[in-house]
Structure 1
Amino acid sequence: MPRIARFKGDPVLEAVRARAASWLLLDEGNPFLVRPKRCTFSAPGHAPESVVLHWQPALMANVRAAIGQVAQRGDAGLKVEPFSGGWWIGLDTLEDEAQKVVTQVRHNQAALRDAPMVVIDLRGNGGGNSRYADIIAELLVGEPRLRAAQPHFPACSGSYWRVSPGVLAALQQNLDQAEASRDGASINFYRPLVTDIKQALAQHRNFSPALPACARHTQAAEQNDLPQVLPPAEMKGRLVLVTDHTCFSSCLIAVDLFRRLGALHVGETTDRSSRYMEVREEVMPSKLRAVSTLQKVAVGAGDFGPYTPEIVFPGVLSNDAALKAWVAGLPAP
C-alpha cells in the first residue's frame, strides 16, 4: 500500500492509506511506479494464493464505480433530526451550506439541550469555516463551557487570513448570507474582517490582520492539553461525535473542540492537517475540475490530528441505519 499511498499524501496516516486502497489495482500512468505482475493473497487459516494479474483498459465510468464500491464513504448530510437515541446533527461540510444546520440547531435548541443524546455527525466533512462548529457548540453546551474548553496558545499566536480578491469574495459571501439570515454573531465576526481585508488589499498587505514579527519564531502549542475541569454543560444529555477518514482542515478543528467539550468520539480515525486552514474550492475554467486552497494560517496552533476515536465503529460507515442503531445502543458512561 505505501507504494501508492505515498503519492496520495502521508502514507503513515490511516486516512491516507484508506483512500489509496481504491487505487491498489488501478494504473494511473504514474511514471514512478511499476505496476505489479502478480499478487499473493493470504487469509487466516488458508494457504497463500498467488494470482497473475492481466491488465486491461477500463472505461472511466467503470473506474469511478469500482472506487466508490471500495471506498463506501458515508455522508452525514446537512440536517438536524430526532433518532432513537436522541437528536442527530448531520454536518458534512463547514462551507457556507453549514449555516442551514446552525439555523436548525438554533430553532431546536431547547429540545437538543433536553435530549438524552446529541450526535454530531461529521462523516464526509472536508473542512470549510470552523466558526460554524463554534456556534453549534455554544448553542448546545453554553458559552461558559465553550470558552473554558478553548486551547491555550503562546503569547505570539492568532489566526491570519491571506489577503487576495478570492478570499475577500468568499468572506463577503459569508457576510451576505449572515445578513440575509439575520445572524448577529456571524455579522459581527465577518463585517470587520471584510472591511480589514479591503483595506489590506489597498495597502498591499499579505495578511489580515497584519502578521506580527514574532510569528516567524513562535513555537506551536501542543494539541493534547485537554482541559481538566469545565463548567457544567447547559445540555442534559450525552454528546457523541462521529468522524471518518475524510475529516480534514477545519473539520479537525471542530473535532478538537468537541473532544475538549467532553464528547465521546466514535467512528474512524481522522486525517491530519497543518496550521493552514479554511478550505475554499474554485472551479477551473474547464468546469471539469475544482482546485482547493487554504485561506488562513494559525500562528502558534500547531497541527491538528489525526484523532483516533475512543470506540471504532465495527461496520461500514455508509450504512446510516446501522450506524444510528449502534450509536443509540452505546453503553452508558
Structure 2
Amino acid sequence: MGLSLAQLSCGGSGGSVPPPPPSGWVVIDAPASTDTVCNELGLSGQAFISPTDWHCCGGSAVEMTAVTVTWRNETSGAAGTASQSVKTSPFVGLYGHTWSATVPLVPGTNRIAVTATDTAGLTGTARLDIRKTGPSFALSGRVLSDSGLWGLGYAESGVSVALAGPTSATALPLSGAARGDYALSCLPPGRYAVTPLSGPFGFAFQPASRTVDIVSADVGGVDFQAPAHRLAGRVSWAVSGLPSTAEWITVGAGAAALVRAVDALGAYGFVLPDGAYTVTPSDPLCLGCSYTPSQRDVQLQGADQAGLDFLRQ
C-alpha cells in the first residue's frame, strides 16, 4: 500500500507518475485473541484508497477517499458502518486510511466481514472468526465526594477502581459532567471484590470495598464516597486577560503530586481530601515562562476553594 500511495500527488490529477490500476482491499488488525466472553468486540484495520475518485486534503475521510467501510456479523446478521480516518501530506496525497468498528457478538463462532467500497464499485473484503466462549456482564457505579457535589474522576483526583475475581480489571472514573462514573464490562459470572484506590492522595472511602455477585445480569449502583473538596482556578495572560491554554497544573502535598492540563478557557479543577497543598502552573514547552504568583499554598478544610488564579507574564 505504501508504494502505491507514494505515487499519488496532492490534488488527485497532477503528478508526473500515473496512479496504479484501480483496485481495493481491506486488512483487519489481528485481535489479541480470537476467543472472548465479551458481548462486543472493537476491531480496526486499514483499507486501500482507490485512486479512481479521491480529493486531497479536505473533508471527511469518506469524502477524501471515496471509500465507505462497512462491517457485518454474518452469523447474527448485525451490520453497520465503520468509523474512518485518513492522513494527508504535501508529498503524498493520501495515506494511513484506517477504520474502526464495534461489532456485537453472539454465543459461538461469529463470522465477521469488513468490506470497503468506492464510488466506482470496486470492493475489497476481509473476514475474521471470533468465538464468544460464554456469557459476560457489566458492572458500574460512581465515586463521589461525601457531599455528592463532585465526582472523583481520575483526572481531577487520581482515583481508580480495582476489580478482583474470576477476572481482574481496573476502571478510571470519568471526569466533568460524568461525575465519577465508572464501568467495567466483559465480566463472566462470579463473585468480585470492588475496591476504590486513592492514587497519590489518601481518600477515606466509604465503604472501603464491596463484594458483588454477578449471576445473570449487569450490576449497577456499586458506589463509593469519600470526604473531599474542590480547588479550582484559571490561568490568564497578564497583558490581555485572555485565557492561557498551554498550562499544566501540578497540585502537590509532600511527595504526592497530581498533574492535569487546563481546559480551553484556561480553567482547572481538582477534587481532593482535606489537607495542605501547593498549586503550581507550568508550560512544558516554555521552561522560562513565569507566573504571578509562581505558586499558591492552599488549605482544604471542610469547604471548596475557588479563585486560585494565575497570570502568565
If you compute each CA radius of gyration, which structure gives the higher value, 1 or 2? 2
After TM superposition, the score normalised by the length of structure 1 is 0.21
Larger relative helix fraction: 1
Q: Which structure's residues are more often strand, by fraction?
A: 2
